[in-house]
Structure 1
Amino acid sequence: MSKSLLIISRQAPWSGPGAREALDIVLAGGAFDLPIGLLFMDDGVFQLAPHQDAKAVQQKDLSANLQALELFGVEDVFACRHSLDERGLVPPSSAQPLSGEGISTLIDRYDQVVTL
């Protein structure tokens, strides 16, 4: 049986390669039917903000990657409620918001956890 993997994405989509790498790992895991989850925390929740203009900051748009999660069988997508609230973001329907205890329980569910 495959070990499960949780990716925690903490970088804003425009702050460097970490956000894209996190999504690439999750999509690859989904393509190989790996039990995988994705948690957005800290500035990583900015990846969930609608209507981003990646060209304005000379970056590649990650919205297509986010939309592809479901196509790759990735259903476990979460966002830190505290991080969303701090940044004035509304939880998107594509990510289940979790508070502190929920995040701890989520992390305990997975065999491996990688933070980017």
Structure 2
Amino acid sequence: MPKSLLVISRQAPWSGPSAREALDIVLAGGAFDLPIGLLFLDDGVFQLAVQQNAKALQQKDLSANLQALPMFGVEELFACAESATERGLDPNGLALQEAQALSAEQITALIDRYDQVITL
């Protein structure tokens, strides 16, 4: 049985390649039916902000990749509620409706559920 993998995305979509790399890992894992989850933590919650204008920052828009996650079988999507609130985002009004807002305690339990964890 394949080991489960949790990818923790901690970077804003415009701060470098880490956000895109995290999504690429998750999409590849989903394509191969790997038990995989994605947690948006710290500045990573900015990837879930509504109405981003990537072109204004001369960046590629990640929203299409985010919307494709469920089509690739990636259904374990999470966001840190505290990180969202600290950054002025509504944890229950994020662009990716499938992402479940979690408390710090719930995140600790979530990490313990997975065999392997990658943080980007």
Q: Give TM class, smaller chain.
A: over 0.9
Kindly indicate whether residue 65 of structure 2 is the aligned counterpart of residue 61 of structure 1: no
Q: How far off its partner does 1:9 sit?
A: 0.1
Letter in 1 for 2:103: S
Q: How far off its partner does 1:54 sit?
A: 0.5
Q: Paired residues, what number?
A: 116
Moved over 4 A (4+): none
Structure 1 vs Structure 2 CA RMSD = 0.6
For residues 34-59 of structure 1, give each alpha carbon's deviation from its aligned partner in whole angstroms, at most 9, with x where no partner exists.
Answer: 00000000000000001111010010
SS state at 2:69 partner: helix
Alignment gaps of 5+ in structure 1? none
Letter in 2 for 1:96: Q
Once residues 38 and 84 of structure 1 are traced to their aligned partners in structure 2, the CA distance between those partners, rounded to angstroms, is 15
Aligned partner of 1:37 in structure 2 is: 37
Letter in 2 for 1:98: L
Kindly indicate whether residue 79 of structure 2 is the aligned counterpart of residue 79 of structure 1: yes
Aligned partner of 1:97 in structure 2 is: 101
Alignment gaps of 5+ in structure 2? none
TM-score, with structure 1 as normaliser: 0.98
TM-score, with structure 2 as normaliser: 0.95
Aligned partner of 1:22 in structure 2 is: 22
Letter in 1 for 2:111: I
Aligned partner of 1:115 in structure 2 is: 119
